[in-house]
């Protein structure tokens, strides 16, 4: 991808790029809809990535993509949220966020390439933002790194693009590491990379993109956030993270209405499940032990948080029926992808079982691949 992006840049702009940068998509092993509740998440960066070739330009920035026909232009010194629409807003938004943090951002030409499917719940937009941010920061010779960079990219998504995401995706794309998942306490923002190598246990972490497309700018995600905020207010806590497991039943009784109660139950139990999985990973025990915890997360997202769709449920159920140790939807939900933990030698059987189940239900065929924990955003050349 690196060579193709550089060659396409040269063709489009008539000069070679000054550099090529990359940032990965992610799957979340566990900890769903917890990041905007100040809770715990455990994503891992994927080998699927966004690659950006870029070079300084005079007077205006131009954005092209190998996947999209439209070309966008903006001026880094003056761009405002209404100026750029569509996917290029993720690029312009980073320039805007840097500028509003007081950094001088020179204009540049960009050529974007990606092998992360859009709308698959694999964080194609966070990867785009992170790759562009790394490029802009290097071109401008600024010192912005790690979590500060992730926060900046999230601000571009929230306030420029208008997608009300939490911080998990950007943190995964920045802090990813080969053979590790990224454990984050989203309140303290302490990040710990925890070893996760399924192959060492004869296991595979399979990703199945159900091809049911989701949109975080749609109202459902924002609505979940709003309900969680209202529930926290009703309980008199800063965030749902502050409800201990031991107080869950009492807190549930204090909430008005079944919807808030179910949302609370998901968030509190999900945070506990993240800690369970982290303790298995840290102890070096057999990874099969996390299987039931992953499946319990899915049930909670289906029944209490209500963010699954039939494709996600069918994919999870058919993977489990074919012998997976655990399976769950990953990402925001309302479509997108599932992950399943299975014996590597049963991979083909599980894939076939999911494909057959999709065919029986009349769904589009899923796209499957094996997840490999990969490095975070970086300069390639
Ligand atoms: C999306 C958001 C994340 C997170 C997940 C749900 O991926 O971008 O911040 O909230 O949904 O866990």
3-class DSSP state of 75: coil
Nearest CA to ligand 1 atom 11: 332
Q: Does 364 participate in catalysis according to the annotation?
A: no
Nearest CA to ligand 1 atom 2: 165
Q: How far apart are CA 30 and CA 279, in angstroms?
A: 13
CA–CA distance from 104 to each of 80, 97, 370 (Å)? 15, 11, 41
Tell me which of 35, 38, 169, 304 is the catalytic residue: 169
State which of 332, 333, 338 you would mutate to test the pocket of ligand 1, scoring each by most atoms of that ligand within 8 A of its C-beta: 332
Distance 12 CA to ligand 1 centre (A): 34
Buried b (16+ CB within 10 A) or exposed e, 24-42: bbbbbbbbbbbbbbbbbbb
Distance 340 CA to ligand 1 centre (A): 19
Query: Is the whole model's pTM more than 0.95, yes or no?
Result: yes
Q: How far apart are CA 128 and CA 118, in angstroms?
A: 11
Distance 32 CA to ligand 1 centre (A): 7
Residue 234: alpha-carbon gap to chain centroid = 29
Per-residue pLDDT of the chain (381 residues; tens, 9 = 90+): 999 999 999 999 999 999 999 999 999 999 999 999 999 999 999 999 999 999 999 999 999 999 999 999 999 999 999 999 999 999 999 999 999 999 999 999 999 999 999 999 999 999 999 999 999 999 999 999 999 999 999 999 999 999 999 999 999 999 999 999 999 999 999 999 999 999 999 999 999 999 998 765 568 999 999 999 999 999 999 999 999 999 999 999 999 999 999 999 999 999 999 999 999 999 999 999 999 999 999 999 999 999 999 999 999 999 999 999 999 999 999 999 999 999 999 999 999 999 999 999 999 999 999 999 999 999 999
How many other β-carbons are positioned within 10 Å of the β-carbon of residue 288? 17
Structural domains of the chain in order of their starting residue, each with its CATH number: 2-193 (3.30.230.10), 196-370 (3.30.70.890)
Q: How far apart are CA 172 and CA 176, in angstroms?
A: 5
How many other β-carbons are positioned within 10 Å of the β-carbon of residue 56? 12
Nearest CA to ligand 1 atom 1: 332
Nearest CA to ligand 1 atom 3: 166
What is the tens place of the pLDDT at every residue in 103-135? Answer: 999 999 999 999 999 999 999 999 999 999 999
What is the side-by-side strand order in the sheet with 40-41? 40-41, 180-185, 190-195
Distance 168 CA to ligand 1 centre (A): 6
Distance 330 CA to ligand 1 centre (A): 9
State which of 33, 154, 225 you would mutate to test the pocket of ligand 1, scoring each by most atoms of that ligand within 8 A of its C-beta: 33
Q: How far apart are CA 96 and CA 88, in angstroms?
A: 12
- Which residues form ligand 1's pocket by a CB distance below 6 Å? 32-33, 35-36, 165-166, 168-169, 216, 331-332
């Amino acid at each position: 991808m690196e060579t193709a992006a550089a060659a396409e840049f040269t063709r489009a702009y008539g000069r070679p790029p000054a550099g090529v940068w990359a940032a990965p998509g992610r799957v979340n092993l566990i900890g769903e809809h917890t990041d905007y509740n100040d809770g715990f998440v455990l994503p891992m960066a994927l080998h699927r990535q966004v690659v950006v070739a870029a070079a300084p330009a005079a007077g205006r920035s131009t954005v092209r993509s190998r996947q999209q026909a439209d070309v966008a232009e903006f001026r880094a010194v003056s761009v405002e949220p209404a100026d750029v629409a569509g996917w290029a807003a993720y690029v312009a938004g980073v320039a805007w966020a840097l500028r509003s943090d007081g950094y001088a951002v020179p204009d540049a030409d960009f050529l974007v390439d990606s092998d992360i499917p859009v709308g698959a719940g694999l964080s194609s937009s966070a990867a785009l933002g992170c790759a562009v941010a790394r490029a802009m920061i290097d071109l401008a010779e600024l010192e912005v790194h790690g979590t500060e960079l992730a926060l900046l990219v999230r601000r571009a998504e929230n306030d420029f693009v208008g997608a009300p995401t939490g911080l998990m995706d950007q943190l995964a794309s920045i802090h990813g590491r080969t053979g590790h998942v990224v454990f984050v306490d989203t309140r303290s923002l302490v990040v710990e990379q925890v070893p996760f190598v399924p192959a060492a246990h004869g296991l595979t972490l399979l990703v199945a993109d159900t091809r049911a497309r989701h949109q975080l700018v749609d109202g459902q995600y924002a609505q979940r956030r709003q309900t969680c905020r209202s529930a926290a207010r009703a309980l008199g806590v800063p965030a749902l993270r502050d409800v201990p497991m031991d107080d869950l039943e009492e807190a549930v009784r204090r909430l008005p209405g079944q919807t808030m109660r179910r949302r609370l139950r998901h968030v509190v139990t999900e945070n506990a499940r993240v800690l369970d999985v982290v303790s298995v990973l840290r102890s070096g025990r057999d990874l099969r032990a996390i299987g039931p915890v992953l499946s319990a997360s899915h049930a909670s997202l289906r029944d209490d948080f209500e963010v699954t769709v039939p494709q996600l449920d069918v994919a999870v159920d058919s993977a489990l029926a074919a012998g997976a140790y655990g399976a769950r939807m990953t990402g925001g939900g309302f479509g997108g992808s599932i992950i399943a933990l299975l014996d590597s030698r049963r991979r083909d059987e599980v894939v076939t079982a999911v494909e057959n189940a999709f065919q029986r239900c009349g769904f589009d065929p899923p796209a499957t691949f094996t997840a490999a924990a990969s490095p975070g955003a970086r300069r390639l050349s």
